[in-house]
Amino acid sequence: MKSIYEDAYQRDGLSFRERHIATLSALVAFGDTERQLRFQGHAAFRHGFTWRDIEEILIQNAAFCGFSRAINAALVLNEAYHAFEAEGEGV
């Protein structure tokens, strides 16, 4: 049995990267999604996103979703980035 995530991420039409950008943007727009944003942010870094990529996503969201939502998301994604970097040190 597939999960809803498997179905959403395996569809045609958008690349995996584009889907992840949409997911992160939706979480920023909703607000109050720290847990999901931390998880999805960490997954983005594992799949090759850089901090610069995340900054660009946050800038777009600041313009369309508001500065407060974007800056709150930046704090959570920064935590996810540092956790991701710390994992790499032990490898």
Interval 36-70: pLDDT, tens: 999 999 999 999 999 999 999 999 999 999 999 99
**Token output for 62:** 């600041």
Interval 16-44: pLDDT, tens: 899 999 999 999 999 999 999 999 999 99
Distances (CA, A) of 79 to 8, 15, 18, 20: 26, 26, 22, 18
Q: Give this prediction's pTM.
A: 0.85
